[in-house]
Amino acid sequence: MFRARKNVEVPEGKFVETKYRCRSCSHEWWERIPAPPDKKAGDAA
């Protein structure tokens, strides 16, 4: 179950973290996936 989404930036690169919650026991967790390339941000951030 989707709950929230946030962007994170770490030395390994940019990622998108999505928060989910289990329907049966209500525990929550984050899943991190690589962010899509953002052309507007440029290369040198």
Verify binding: residue 29, Zn ion, rule CB under 5 A.
Answer: no
Q: For Zn ion, which residue of 7, 13, 22, 38 counts as binding (CB under 5 A)?
A: 22
Give me the residue whose beta carbon is nearest to Zn ion: 22
Which has the closest alpha carbon to 23: 3, 44, 4, 45? Answer: 3
The neighbour count for residue 32, using CB atoms within 10 Å, is 12
Q: Are 3 and 28 in contact (CB under 8 A)?
A: yes
- Point out which span in 7-15, 20-28, 29-37 binds Zn ion (CB under 5 A): 20-28
Residues that bind Zn ion (CB under 5 A): 22, 25, 27
